[in-house]
Amino acid sequence: MQAHGHYLGSVTLVGAGPGDPDLLTVKAHRKIQQASFIVYDNLVSEEIRDLFPQQAKKVFVGKAKGAHSATQQQINDILLQSALDGNDVCRVKGGDAFVFGRGAEEMLMLAKNGIAVDVIPGITAASGCTSYANIPLTHRGLAQGCTFITAHADKKLDINWSALAQLKQTLVLYMGLSKTDMLMDKLVDGGLCANTPIAFIENGCTIKQRIILGTLHQLTSLKRHHQIQSPALIVVGEVVAVAEQMDWLSQLSHRQLSKTECPQSLQLTA
């Protein structure tokens, strides 16, 4: 595309998934490999960053709670100016750009300024991390639906907690680690049983993944006891019990395997 004789670049919003580079789509991987200008977020894992071409210009615009390296306006300016300068920009975001990733804001801003935008979907943390933790988002008899919620808002968090509590669905809470007291109180006050199973999934879909299981009334105490750090996802619902069952079955299988591998005399005395 040209404007007044000057070549305009474009921007591709690439969803990089929740961390494991093997979860990149073929299209996302190809776009990253071909990129000459990459703008990437804090939630893009080290393993995926290792796939960035060595010759590509890389601009880090990660945001973490209380430690923003760039405001959203600055990120918008970087994307727009880079495209106006004729670069075909690869904007790499953790998860999916359209699920709590502000990708739509960036897309609309660029489109308003005449920049061509393409979007490559990625696996969002809610589906990727729960799958790696053996927690189904839906399960017959336990949850007929799921709801994704962000606990972060620029101004006021406008959520009907009573309605959420009565859905009898799986709730997946993004960016809720610093607000566990509030989440616990709102959901219990809204009618959700305090003994509802919950799971923290820390650093999901990476080699550092950690899964902490418990119940809703333990939300803050578990966070403090296990010193859970961001990025972490909170899953609330009866489906968490499936992960507990899988863990039990895994241990049972391991014990049975150990017995079959033992000498006959040891089996008889076990």
CA dihedral over 179, 185, 187, 193, signed as positive or negative: positive
Task: Tell me if 32 sits within 8 A of 52, measured CB to CB.
Answer: yes
Question: In this structure, is residue 256 part of a structural domain?
Answer: no
- CA angle centred on 55, ends 69 and 51, rounded to 5°: 70
Are 141 and 239 part of one and the same domain? yes
Are 133 and 232 part of one and the same domain? yes
Question: In this structure, is residue 269 part of a structural domain?
Answer: no
Are 154 and 241 part of one and the same domain? yes
Are 135 and 243 part of one and the same domain? yes
The CA distance from 147 to 192, in Å, is 15
pLDDT above 50 (res 267): no
Question: In this structure, is residue 29 part of a structural domain?
Answer: yes
Q: What is the pLDDT of residue 268?
A: 31
Structural domains of the chain, count: 2
| Measured torsion, CA atoms of residues 198, 203, 204, 205, in degrees rounded to the nearest 10 | -160
At 101, which CATH number? Answer: 3.40.1010.10
Question: In this structure, is residue 80 part of a structural domain?
Answer: yes
Question: In this structure, is residue 265 part of a structural domain?
Answer: no
Are 119 and 134 part of one and the same domain? no
What's the Rg (C-alpha) of the chain?
A: 22
Are 14 and 114 part of one and the same domain? yes
Q: How confident is the model at residue 62 (pLDDT cuts 50, 70, 90)?
A: confident
For residue range 177-224, what is the model confidence (pLDDT) as tens digits? 999 999 999 999 999 999 999 999 999 999 999 999 999 999 999 999
The residue assigned the tokens 């589906």 is: 127
- The β-bridge partners of 58 are 38
pLDDT above 70 (res 263): no
Q: Choose the weakest-confidence range: 128-137, 149-158, 164-173, 193-202.
A: 149-158
Are 194 and 109 part of one and the same domain? no
Farthest-apart Cα atoms in the chain, separation: 87
Count of all residues that appear for the chain in the document: 270
pLDDT above 70 (res 72): yes
Are 89 and 165 part of one and the same domain? no
Q: Which domain holds residue 17?
A: 2-123
Are 118 and 159 part of one and the same domain? no
Average pLDDT estimate for 26-46: 96
Task: Tell me if 233 sits within 8 A of 126, measured CB to CB.
Answer: yes
The residue assigned the tokens 């750009």 is: 97
Q: How much is the mean pLDDT over the chain?
A: 89
Q: What is the pLDDT of residue 248?
A: 78
Percent of all residues in the chain with a pLDDT value above 70, rounded to a whole number = 89
* Structure letter (DSSP) for residue 260: H
Are 156 and 223 part of one and the same domain? yes
pLDDT above 90 (res 54): yes
At 221, which CATH number? Answer: 3.30.950.10
Give the catalytic positions in this structure.
41, 63
pTM of the model as a whole:
0.86
pLDDT above 70 (res 114): yes
pLDDT above 80 (res 36): yes
